[in-house]
Each structure stands twice: as C-alpha cells, then as structure tokens.
Structure 1
Amino acid sequence: MHASFLLSLVASITIPIRAHDPLSEQHIFGQQEATWLQKYGPQIDQPFSGPLSFSHLPYARCLELEETKFDIAILGIPFDTGVTYRPGARFGPYAIRSGSRRQREARGYTMAWGNNPFAEGLKIIDCGDVPVNPFDNALAIDQMEVAYSTLLRRPLATPEKAKGTNTPRIISLGGDHTIVLPILRALNKTYGPVSVIHFDAHLDTWRSYPGGITNQSRVTHGTFFAIAQEEGLISNTSIHAGIRCKLGGEEDIENDEAVGFQIITGDDIDDLGITEIIRRIRKRIGSTPVYLSLDIDVIDPGLAPATGTPEAGGWTTREVKRILRGLAGLNFVGADIVEVSPAYDNAEITGIAAADLVHDFLSMLLSDRPPSPSKPEQREEL
C-alpha cells in the first residue's frame, strides 16, 4: 500500500467516546450549565494559589477576633529595627509563609517524625501579623508583648487533647531576634523564668553596643538575652547551639555564662556528633519550661543566605532538623524562627528551609518523645 493511503485510512478511523465515561470530553464539556461546585467540587487552593497563610492553614485576625480559639497559633512579627547589620527581616513572615505553600494538611506526614502534625486533632491556625509600629521601637516592643500576652490568655480550642497545659502555644515568625524580649516578658506572666534553647551563630547576650546611651537604644537583636536576664525572665539553665561568631575576647564568654547560658559551638557537630549535642541540650534543660528560638543564621549561608548577619561555617539544614527531632518531649512553651531577610535570598531557598523547620516545630510540640529512627533492615533494599 502507498503511504498516502495508509495515512488517509488512519485519519478516517475514529474511536467513539462513551457517553457514560465520567472522564470523557463529552461528559466534561457537556455540562456547561452546571455550577463550579456541581461540576468540580470544592474550591481547592493549589500550592501556588490562594490566600497566603502558613501551609494553607485557616487564617484569622486573632488579636481582633477575641472569640477565636486555637491550640497552636502561627504569629508573624514583622519587626526589624533592632538589627546591627543588614535590615529586611520585617519581610520574614511573608517569606516563610510563601516558602510553606507546598505544605498542607493533606500532605503533612513525614517519615522522619512518623506523624502529621495537622492530623493530631488540635486546632492550628495562622493568626496573621502583629501590626508593629516601624517608627518607634519602644512602642513596637510594647505592641509585641501585648499581642503575645493576649494570645496566651486565650482558652484552648480542644482542652480535652491538651497534655498537661491550659495555655495555647505560639510559633512566631520573625522579624529580627529582638522580638524574643517581649515574648519572654509575656511568657513570664504565665510560666515565670524559662530556659531557652537558642540556635544561632551569635551569642546575643551582649550588654550593650557602643553609642547606646538611652535605655531603649540598649534593646537590639544582640542584647535582648542580657536584658531578659536582668529582668529575671530566663533561668540559669539555658543553652546555645551552633555558635561561631567573632568575639571581643574571653570576656564575652564570661558574660555569656553570667547571663545563664552554656555554649555548643558550630564545630562541636564535628567533634561531638549530633547524638551528643542532643544529649547535652536535654541534660541542660531537664524538665523546666523551655522556649526554643532559632535564628536562621545557625544554618550555613551557602544553604540559607537570606539573613542579616551571615557567618560562614554553619550547620546544614538537615543537621538542624535532626537535632530538633532529638529535642521532642521537652516541656516546650513556645518557639520562633527569626532573621529571615528575603531580599538576600536566592530562589526562595531560605524561606523554604525556614518553613520546613516550622513544620518540624509543630511535630516537636506535639510529640511526647523523639521519634524512633527507622532501622536499615526495616527499609526495603533498592
């Protein structure tokens, strides 16, 4: 047969579309009078669409809507006028929420944790941002304290599922690290002095910076722990993790000990290993109420460049995630992730890493103990 005849024969063959096939074009496009709900079902946001809330969680203006209840709240605190180098962390809450767009309740299970924090029966919502004043730091810090205190007084949404607490917990999205001072002031009203697990490249326990001649000028993202200690907000059982910054000398370390911290350096992950770092943190904290504060610059700037004070030689995202899993079961009263400054990011890698760490925070807050690592023999060989 000639090729032209074969082509005309193939072109003349048609496969009949079965009208009863729900996926047939005749079925789909033949319902032009149907409403969206009748034809396609609920309006589901795609990972790249919909209102911007963390992991597509329900969103509420919790500070304004006083009847809103929750068990865990995501709270943005877009403050960055306490920085000493590169500003821009006021856009951190936006960047972290944007980095979370591929996360959602329907796909929240992780093999590392062995759970889905959104499916544990607790009400987790995004409470939006604290509308902090960008011109007056004293006013802004008071606004942050009032906002946090307001949410801490909110009754739990599901008290029957609470594990020994009547107080909701808040995961804060910074903002620069100064936000921890008003947070500790708010927590103190409920818990008294708390221990702090502080992931950071920097100590943040300096007493003041040159030129700080007024009380308010002392309050920066590098001095807030010293001020918190002076105010009796933190206990003498706190610990740093990942420290590697340049110091003025031994006197900085002596002052850090006086503020109430022990130091795990960035190099310790090579010399001690992850398991020993976890053990030392857990031993230091014990059963005390503990607040976790994670500065994104604990991660190496090659993996998380979008931060105001980058320091070379940091930990990897995977190492930090592994340490967080080892801390589950401690008496956490809250957590934050700070210093994400998206103007310095590339392809959203810092915002995505920060959002993933917040997902770990949720699992960490809801777990009674660290997840058991899967054994190689339990996994099918490839």
Structure 2
Amino acid sequence: MYQPKDSAKSPRFCGVRTFMRLEQLQTTDDIDFAVLGVPFDTAVSNRTGQRYGPQHIRDFSVLLRPYNPDQDIQIFEYCSGVDYGDIDVVPGNIHRTYDNMVEGISPLLEKSVVPIILGGDHSISLGNLRAFAKHYGPVALVHFDSHSDTWDNYYGEKYMHGTPFRRAVEEGLLDVEHSIQIGMRGPLYGPEDIEDARQLGFEVITMRECRDIGYSQVLKRIHARAADRPVFVSFDVDFVDPAYAPGTGTPEVGGPTSHEALELVRGLHGLDLVGFDVVEVLPSMDPSEITAMLASSVAYEMISLVAMKKRSRQQAQLEQHR
C-alpha cells in the first residue's frame, strides 16, 4: 500500500517534492491511481510557461492531508497510489510528445490504474485521449473549461491548445453523444465558436446557463449525459474565475468560485471515472500560489473519487454476500 508520508513525523519541507508527498515510483503493482506530469507548453497561443505547471502543483500539494472531510473518506484506507513522475516530452514536437504519452500512459491503463495527469497546456488532452481510447474504445468526456477547445486551427496549425477536442472527435476517440462541456464564456470571434462544439455532438452548458439553472442541475445533466460510459474528466483551471485562479494563460472573468468548482468535481461520484487531467496552470502568473492551491485541490478531489469508487465497490460486494 502506497500512501503519503506522515507530515506529523516528517516535516513538509523535507524530501523531494512529489504530489501529496506520495512515493515517487514508476510501478503499476498494488496501486489504484498514479499522478503524472506532462510538462508541455509548445501548443499555447499566448502566454507560455505551462511546462512548469506540474511541479508548481506538486509544490503546493504537500499541504494536502489523507482525510477528505467533504467526502467523508480516509483516502488511503481504500486505495493506494504513487507519483509516477513525468512523461518525457519533446519541446517543439507535439506529435512525438503524443507518442511518448500513449507509450507512458498505456501500462497504467492495462493494469486498471487511474491516471491523474497534470499539465501542461490543454493540447495534452489529445495524447491522453489517444491512450484511453486505445484501451477503452471511445470514452465520454466531461470537460470543465471557459473555452470549448474545438477550433479547427490556430494560424493554420491543427494541433494547438484550442483544438484538441475537435481532433479527438475526428479521430474517433470520444463517445461524443455522451460527452459534455461546462463553463464556456467570454468574448468570441463569433457564435460558431460555441455552436461548432454542438455541431460536433457535444452537449454544451455555458457559464450563463450554469448560473441560471444552478450547479445541482448541472450535475444532473452531467450524470445523465455520461450515463454508464467510461468517463475521462478534463479540467482547465481557466474554468474558474481568475479571482480564484489567476495563474493561467487565457483567463476569462465571470466563472465559478473555487468552492463551486470543487463541488462540481465532488459531484462526479457515481460515474465510471477512468482518468483525469488538470491543465493550463501557469506559475509565472501565480506568485501567491492561489492557482496551485486550486489545481492541487482539484487533483486531490479526483483522487478522492477514485477512493470513493473503490469503497462503493467494496460495499456492493459485502451486500451481495449478505
């Protein structure tokens, strides 16, 4: 059983920085989840530096503790996990980086380990989805973002941080009829910037609609949409209002608070969650570590969901034997 170091015995400032002070170990044995970084930012269109996002998130994550009071679960009573390290990216070459991602993530999926992937810019989601589709077939996507990332190209380039989900649909990686995007907002070049996502088959809930219907209804629609399909969750930190997540490349005002965002992630319990990513953390714009605090907490809630899924299975097995 792999779990974090006990910070009551070993101070948080001791040792190599890993997520939540987990063992840094590339193993697929006796683990339920693995945290891994993809420090790639070649595909951004404006501010750069997301390659330093994984370590920035890890640096703050040492403050996380094993009991999640909001979900009422002692995480490591139910699951085991490691910090798997980083994928070896190829700066300037997104296609070789994608190949490395598929090669690096696939062994985890073959052992039913849930990857929690720290970016990096949002282009990495295409590499993630290639690995997941190779193992599961097309997966349902639950996508939290202020942008749909379904543009056809930037500057004539097809593989950028604003294009991964169009490419994923074109490559047949997504069960798009069971996929949903939440939080779209901000100035656009035209209505097609959102309508294109709907034309591709996504259900889209804009930020204005989230406010109008309330987050409990948003969660009901997420669960109804994803149904019983294997689900990949992609969380762009610019989903959250920049008052709570300033450290990102393309912030948009008018988003949810950090509390509201965490409640939405917590509310995914009950879905067949097979993998996650948290992307677009930009340390140079995050001097007070507000965004690292949020991103590490989002990843923590994702780990909690892995533990809750395992607890639910154990409880169901006990019920069957009664």
* TM-score under structure 1 length normalisation: 0.76
Within a 5 Å distance, the mapping from 1:223-234 to structure 2 comes to 223-234=163-174
Indicate yes or no: 2:205 matched with 1:264: yes
SS of residue matched to 1:282: helix
Q: Paired residue for 1:132, among 89, 95, 99? A: 89
Task: Tell me, yes or no, if the aligned pair for 2:50 and 2:120 is still in contact at 8 Å.
Answer: yes
Paired residues, number: 305
Within a 5 Å distance, the mapping from 1:96-115 to structure 2 comes to 96-103=57-64, 107-115=65-73
> Aligned partners of 1:330 and 1:68: how far apart in 2?
25
**Superposed CA offset, 1:320-341 (max 9, x none):** 1111121101011100100001
Shift of 1:150: 3.0
Q: Which residue is equivalent to 1:300?
A: 241
**Superposed CA offset, 1:47-93 (max 9, x none):** 22221010111111x2xxx6755221001110011111111110000
Indicate yes or no: 2:9 matched with 1:52: no
Indicate yes or no: 2:249 matched with 1:291: no
Within a 5 Å distance, the mapping from 1:326-365 to structure 2 comes to 326-365=267-306
1:259/1:309 Cα in 2 relative to 1: closer, same or farther (>3 Å)? same
> Aligned partners of 1:309 and 1:219: how far apart in 2?
17
Shift of 1:245: 3.0
Q: Which residue is equivalent to 2:104?
A: 147
Within a 5 Å distance, the mapping from 1:21-170 to structure 2 comes to 44-60=9-25, 62=26, 69-103=30-64, 107-120=65-78, 122-153=79-110, 155=111, 167-170=112-115
> Aligned partners of 1:77 and 1:369: how far apart in 2?
26
1:253/1:123 Cα in 2 relative to 1: closer, same or farther (>3 Å)? same
Task: Tell me, yes or no, if the aligned pair for 1:329 and 1:369 is still in contact at 8 Å.
Answer: no
Give ranges in structure 1 of 5+ residues lacking alignment. Answer: 1-41, 156-166, 372-382
Shift of 1:276: 0.7
> Aligned partners of 1:268 and 1:190: how far apart in 2?
34
> Aligned partners of 2:213 and 2:238: how far apart in 1?
21
> Aligned partners of 1:330 and 1:218: how far apart in 2?
31
**Superposed CA offset, 1:327-370 (max 9, x none):** 10101110010000111003111111111111100111232499
Task: Tell me, yes or no, if the aligned pair for 2:75 and 2:307 is still in contact at 8 Å.
Answer: yes
> Aligned partners of 1:198 and 1:279: how far apart in 2?
15
Task: Tell me, yes or no, if the aligned pair for 2:33 and 2:306 is still in contact at 8 Å.
Answer: no
Query: Between the two proteins, what is the percent identity of the paired residues?
Result: 40
> Aligned partners of 1:43 and 1:317: how far apart in 2?
28
Amino acid at match of 1:232: G
> Aligned partners of 2:77 and 2:47: how far apart in 1?
39
> Aligned partners of 2:306 and 2:278: how far apart in 1?
14
Q: Which residue is equivalent to 1:16?
A: none
Shift of 1:275: 0.8
Q: Paired residue for 2:122, among 160, 163, 177? A: 177
Within a 5 Å distance, the mapping from 1:10-21 to structure 2 comes to none
Task: Tell me, yes or no, if the aligned pair for 1:326 and 1:370 is still in contact at 8 Å.
Answer: no
Shift of 1:168: 1.2
SS of residue matched to 1:173: strand
1:307/1:370 Cα in 2 relative to 1: closer, same or farther (>3 Å)? farther
> Aligned partners of 1:246 and 1:365: how far apart in 2?
36
Task: Tell me, yes or no, if the aligned pair for 2:28 and 2:108 is still in contact at 8 Å.
Answer: no
* TM-score under structure 2 length normalisation: 0.90
SS of residue matched to 2:85: strand
Task: Tell me, yes or no, if the aligned pair for 2:53 and 2:281 is still in contact at 8 Å.
Answer: yes
Task: Tell me, yes or no, if the aligned pair for 1:290 and 1:332 is still in contact at 8 Å.
Answer: yes
Indicate yes or no: 2:175 matched with 1:253: no
Q: Which residue is equivalent to 2:319?
A: none
Indicate yes or no: 2:274 matched with 1:309: no
> Aligned partners of 2:311 and 2:158: how far apart in 1?
38
> Aligned partners of 1:99 and 1:118: how far apart in 2?
20
Q: Which residue is equivalent to 2:315?
A: none
SS of residue matched to 1:176: coil
Amino acid at match of 2:152: R
Shift of 1:268: 2.7
**Superposed CA offset, 1:238-260 (max 9, x none):** 11111113222232333211222
